[in-house]
Structure 1
Amino acid sequence: MSANQTQLHDSPARYGTLSRFFHWSMAAILAWQFATALAHLQLEDTAIEGFLWGTHKVVGLLLIILIVLRGLWSLHNRGHRPASLSLMAKLGHLALYTLMLVVPAIGLLRQYGSGRAFEPFGLPLMPGFEGGSIGWMTAPGVLHSWLGWLLLVLIVGHIAMVYVHRRRPRDEDVLARMLGNRQPSSAGSR
C-alpha cells in the first residue's frame, strides 16, 4: 500500500483513512440497526429478535457518538474534502447526517423520559427515576421509527446514486473517493 493510500486526512481527490473508517463503520452499524428493527417487527418473541433487539439501544448510542466524531472530523477537514457533485448531492448528504443524529437522539430522549435506567456497557448513563414518564420526552418517540425508516430510504437512494455515478458516462466514480482508489476505472482494470 502506497503512502498516498494511507493518507489520514481528506484531500480534494479522495477521503482520508479516518473519514473512510467513519463512513464504513457507520454503514455497518446502520445495517445492524435496521436488521434489529426488522427483527423486532417481523420476528417478535423469537430468540433472533431477543438477541438483535437487545443490542438496539447500545448500538444506537455508539452510532450517535460516531456521528458526532464524524461531524467534528468533517469540520476539521472542511475545504480539503472532495467537492460535492451537485446541490442535490449536498442536500442529500445533509439530510443523511441530520437523520443519523436526530433518530438516535430521539431514542435517547425517549429512553430518559421513560424513567427506565440505561446502562450501556455497564456505564450508568441514565439512572432511571421513580414515578410516571415525562410526556414531552416520550411523545416524539413515534418519530424515532418513522424518521428511522426515512433514513433507510435515503440510504438506499445514496447507494443507488453511487451506482448511477459509477456507471453513467462522463460522471465521476464517487465510490473510488470513499474506497481510497483514485485510479481511473476502465473495463480492463476492474
Structure 2
Amino acid sequence: MQESKGYGRMQILLHWAIAILIVANYFISDGMENAFDGMMKGAPVVFGWVPTFHVYAGVMVLILVALRLALRIVRPTAAANTGKPLLDKAAELGHYALYLLMIVAPALGALSWFGMIDVTASYHVLAVNVLLILALGHAAMSLFHQFVLRDGLMVRMIWSK
C-alpha cells in the first residue's frame, strides 16, 4: 500500500473534530465533576446539558479515534522526515501516546460514570491532563515546524490536495 504525503479530507476532519470535542469537554469538566461527585454521594443524577454533552462527546471521541486509526491502516500517511532522527522518533512516540490517551481517557471516564467507580475518575482526570499536555506539545511542535523549520508540515493537517 502506497503512503500519502498528506492527510486526506476525512483524516483532517476527524483530527479537528476530535480536538474540538476534547477541548470542549475540558472546559465543562468542572460541571461534570460536580455531577459525578453528587452521584457518588447518592444524590439524584440530574442530566443537565453538561453531563449529557460530556458523556456523548467522550463516546464520540472514542468512536472518531477508532475511525481515525482504521483510516491510518487503510490509507497510511508518510511520517514526517525532518532529517533529524531524534525529532522524528519523538514525533512518532508522541503520536502513539496521543492515540493511547484519546482511547484511555474517555474509556476511564465511561467506566467511572456508568460503573460509579470513584478511583477510575481520578485516573480519568490524570489521563486527560496528560493528554492535554501532550496535545499542547503537539500544537507547539506544529508551530515549530511551520515557523522555525519551515518545512510545510503543518499544511498537511490543514487542507487536503
TM range (shorter): 0.7 to 0.9
Q: Output the CA distance in 1 between the equivalents of 2:130 and 2:11.
A: 24
Q: Percent identity?
A: 28
Q: Relative CO higher for 1 or 2, CA cutoff 8 Å, sep ≥ 6? A: 2
Aligned residues: 141
Residue 26 of structure 2 is aligned to residue 24 of structure 1? no
1:148 deviation in Å? Answer: 0.4
What is the TM-score with the length of structure 1 in the denominator?
0.66
Query: 1:180 is aligned with what amino acid?
Result: W
What is the TM-score with the length of structure 2 in the denominator?
0.77
- Any stretches of 5+ residues in structure 1 without a counterpart? 1-9, 43-49, 115-136, 183-190
Higher helix fraction (1 or 2): 2
Structure 2 contact 7–160 (Cα < 8 Å) conserved: no
Matches within 5 A, 1:164-175: 164-169=144-149, 171-175=150-154
Deviation sequence 1:34-59 (CA, Å, 0-9, x none): 111155579xxxxxxx6434411111
Structure 1 contact 104–144 (Cα < 8 Å) conserved: yes
The residue aligned with 2:79 is 83
- Any stretches of 5+ residues in structure 2 without a counterpart? 35-47, 82-87
Structure 2 contact 14–64 (Cα < 8 Å) conserved: yes
Residue 102 of structure 2 is aligned to residue 97 of structure 1? no
Superposed CA RMSD in Å reads: 2.3
The residue aligned with 2:125 is 145
Change over 3 Å in CA distance of 1:168–1:108 after alignment to 2:
same
Q: Output the CA distance in 2 between the equivalents of 1:101 and 1:56.
A: 15
Q: Output the CA distance in 1 between the equivalents of 2:109 and 2:33.
A: 17
> Quick check: which has more Rg, 1 or 2?
1
Q: Output the CA distance in 2 between the equivalents of 1:94 and 1:167.
A: 24
Change over 3 Å in CA distance of 1:181–1:109 after alignment to 2:
closer
